Amino acid sequence: MSGFKRIRVALAMEETGLVPLFYHEDENICREVISACYTGGAKVFEFTNRGDFAHEVFAGVKKWSLQHCPGMMIGAGSVHDAATAALFMQMGADFIVSPILNPEVAKICNRRKVLWIPGCGTLTEISQAEELGAEVIKIFPGNAVGGPSFVKAVKGPSPWTSLMPTGGVEPTEENLKQWFGAGVTCVGMGSLLITGKMVKDGKWELITKKVKETLDLIRELRLASS
């Protein structure tokens, strides 16, 4: 069961502006990556459900994080159905992220008051997700549905909508300026933030550095536009 109220998770996403995404079948590597992100200032982390026995890895990581990364909100991503959502929530997921809009996932998350972030690619899907109680909407794949211009177009008629693009988001000033300038609430970043080489070489300090630099950059961009 989540240790955080869903509104607190949503606010943490908005406050930091960044949700790192990562999966590895080795629990120890996941621990190192989460610890590196935590040290770099990340408050929210998405463990992507991408491999066999991923739920077992998640359970171990979540138990470990309660002691070693207090306050870190760890959710499960790539969740397609209600059964999988229930499984991860039972193991302590603080939020559930889906690549699709599935009303059954919304229902089971809402019953337990766990933040549910569905993946949407049209304004109609976004509206349906909000009717189902979604506080934050995942724009996925962000680059394929139109990028920052799509976000800007959505925010025109629906300024209340909170959007988190994933896919096509880069930890560079040029790219982040476009996304945040268009009006996103936060961004999700995976392999462009936590590169395969960093993980392979065990360069955890580089992950910490990159996360900190990205968070600082987001903060600066927001201040410049305020």
Residue 148's domain is classified under what CATH number? 3.20.20.70
pLDDT value, residue 203 = 98
Mean pLDDT of the chain: 97
pLDDT in tens, 24-74: 999 999 999 999 999 999 999 999 999 999 999 999 999 999 999 999 999
Q: Is residue 174 pLDDT above 80, yes or no? A: yes
Distance CA 224, CA 176 (A): 13
Read off the tokens for 77: 């991503």
69 in a structural domain: yes
70 in a structural domain: yes
30 in a structural domain: yes
202 in a structural domain: yes
162 in a structural domain: yes
| Terminal Cα distance for the chain, rounded | 37
Distance CA 11, CA 19 (A): 12
1 in a structural domain: no
pLDDT value, residue 225 = 84
**Residue-number span of the structural domain to which 32 is assigned:** 6-219
224 in a structural domain: no
Q: Is residue 1 pLDDT above 80, yes or no? A: no
* Residues 66, 40, 85: CA angle, nearest 5 degrees: 45
Q: Is residue 156 pLDDT above 80, yes or no? A: yes
Residue 22 near residue 190 (C-beta atoms within 8 A): yes
The reported pTM is 0.97
